[in-house]
Amino acid sequence: MSLKDKKIILAVTGSIAAYKTPQLVRLLVKAGAEVQVVMTEAAKDFVTPLALATVSTKEVFYAVSNGAHWNNHVHLGRWADVLLVAPCTANTLAKMAQGLCDNMVQAIYLSAACPVVFAPAMDEDMWLHPATRANVQQLQSYGHHLIPVESGPLASGLTGPGRMAEPETIAAWLEHFFAPEQQPVAIPPNTKALITAGPTYEAIDPVRFIGNFSTGKMGIALAEALAERGIPVDLVLGPSKESTQHPLITTHKVVSAREMYDACERLFPEAAISILSAAVADFRPQEAAAEKIKKGSEDTMQLTLVKNPDILAHLGAIKNAGQTVVGFALETNNELEHALKKLKAKNADMIVLNSLQEAGAGFGHDTNKVTLLSADGTQTALPLQSKKEIAKSIVDCVLALKYNNA
């Protein structure tokens, strides 16, 4: 297993989620890891050092100095293969971002010569606060890795995002992190991404429009997958009930194709990676009536449609050597042929081929099945899986294409 013989420091801070840490230690030890637990004094109010020492079979450290005994935080920081801060409170996030050193956890953090992973835990309003957003982004700019919070019941009695990921999720994340074939691509600092998602609505009159069945789920999953890799994302989202609260994602809401085009043109110059997953209407009514069109006595109504601007073609034409542009192709027949033509015609670096002929794929589903077509001729077929897993696979392929070939 990928955790066998790995040396893991688990830093526990003062959150109610600390009650989950004995189970987390059990899972890591069972997977073959050697786990050294350290704690803040506040964490001892939620879980005892004795409980964690029992499951880890190691003394738990919670003070740099304990009487005549000095705990060598520099040695510990160099001993570990990874430092995992879980749960990581809003207070600890802020201290890590600012480099404060007033407890054993912070002393080890500032001495760590290994990758740092943090799993936040706090209430919804704290998680969504701009200060927390800035602190998460600061830690990720240091190269640290975020294990995203989950949504559900919170200690305050509210329900929403802020829960620490479950122990099983954290253990699986670490196994994925240490798997040789899954080592993260080195992403340059200040990398930004642009994602389009959802449908566009093209007005016929003030109450009617031309649209499609896109929900925006795939695009939001892509934005979250990029953000989890530490990349700030501008999400241009058409009219959709879906949303995201990830602190590294800035959502720009639009309605029409022309609004989406304008937003993309404004944001594109700063984007190293652009993934255009929105289902943009190809045509719009030439004129939108100022008032609701009455039915009248006629049996038919004629609409004159004009082409909308082609966002993928435009960005493909103006991209520079440092920018990667990925498009989506939703096809109903001759899928591969049409997608390859689109890849070349739009000057894209990759096309994600999505077929409506596949059961469980396309609009309205929580699953998808796609094939990735790269400009270098590579074709990668991904099996039917959740859109979140598909998004992670697409992001892995895009990052490998961009940075491994750089």
Q: Does the annotation place 123 within a ligand binding site? A: no
Q: How far apart are CA 381 and CA 142, in angstroms?
A: 34
Determine which of 86-100, 293-307, 308-322 has the lowest per-residue pLDDT on average.
293-307
Specify the domain boundaries for CATH 3.40.50.1950 within the chain. 7-182
Q: Decide if 235 contacts 249 (C-beta within 8 A).
A: yes
Q: Hey, which CATH number is domain 7-182, 3.40.50.300, 2.40.110.10, 3.40.50.1950, 3.40.605.10?
A: 3.40.50.1950
The whole-number pLDDT of residue 385 equals: 79
Least confident of 1-15, 159-173, 177-191: 177-191
Residue 221 tokens read as: 């999953």
Query: Was 346 annotated as part of a binding site?
Result: yes
pLDDT attached to residue 65: 65
192 labelled binding-site residue: no
Residue 356's pLDDT band, with cuts at 50, 70 and 90, is low
- Rounded to whole angstroms, the Cα distance separating 147 from 166 reads 10
User: What's the whole-model pTM score?
Assistant: 0.63
Give the sign of the dihedral formed by CA 183, CA 185, CA 186, CA 191: negative
Distance CA 72, CA 315 (A): 54
pLDDT at residue 159, rounded to an integer: 87
pLDDT tens for 202-215 read 999 999 999 999 99
310 in a known ligand binding site: yes
Q: Is 311 annotated as a binding residue?
A: yes
Asked if 125 and 136 count as a contact pair (C-beta separation under 8 A), the reply is no
User: Which architecture characterizes domain 193-404 according to CATH?
Assistant: 3-Layer(aba) Sandwich (3.40)
Residue 64: its pLDDT value, please?
A: 74
Q: Is the pLDDT of residue 359 over 50?
A: yes
Side chain identity at 210, as an amino acid letter?
A: I
Closest of 251, 237, 244, 246 to residue 201, by C-alpha: 237
Q: Is the pLDDT of residue 362 over 60?
A: no
Report pLDDT digits (tens) over 366-402: 677 889 999 988 898 887 778 888 898 899 899 988 8
∠ CA 340-393-121, rounded to 5°: 145
Question: How would residue 181 be classed by pLDDT, with cut points 50, 70 and 90?
Answer: low
d(CA 62, CA 60): 7
Q: Which one has a higher pLDDT value, 346 or 301? A: 346
Question: Over the stretch 112-146, which tens digit does the pLDDT of each residue have?
Answer: 999 999 999 999 999 989 999 899 989 988 888 88
Q: How far apart are CA 406 and CA 403, in angstroms?
A: 5
Q: Is 386 strand, coil or helix?
A: strand
pLDDT of residue 402: 86
Percent of the chain with pLDDT over 70: 92
Give residue 237's identity as a one-letter amino acid code: L
> Start-end ranges of CATH 3.40.50.10300 in the chain?
193-404
Q: What is the pLDDT of residue 68?
A: 46
Q: Per the annotation, does 262 bind a ligand?
A: no
CA proximity to 82, closest of 10, 179, 171 = 10
pLDDT confidence of residue 405: 59
- Please identify every residue annotated as catalytic: 212
Tell me the per-residue pLDDT of 42-87, one tens digit each, with 9 for 90 and over.
Answer: 999 999 999 999 999 999 998 876 554 555 667 888 899 999 999 9
Long-range (24+ apart) CB contacts under 8 A made by 153-158 are 154/123, 154/124, 155/16, 155/123, 156/123, 156/124, 158/123, 158/124
Whether the per-residue pLDDT at 365 is higher than 80: the answer is no
Q: What is the DSSP string of 77-141?
A: HHH-SEEEEEEE-HHHHHHHHHT---SHHHHHHHH--S-EEEEE---HHHHHSHHHHHHHHHHHH
pLDDT above 90 covers a percentage of the chain that reads: 64
**Annotated binding-site residue? 299:** no
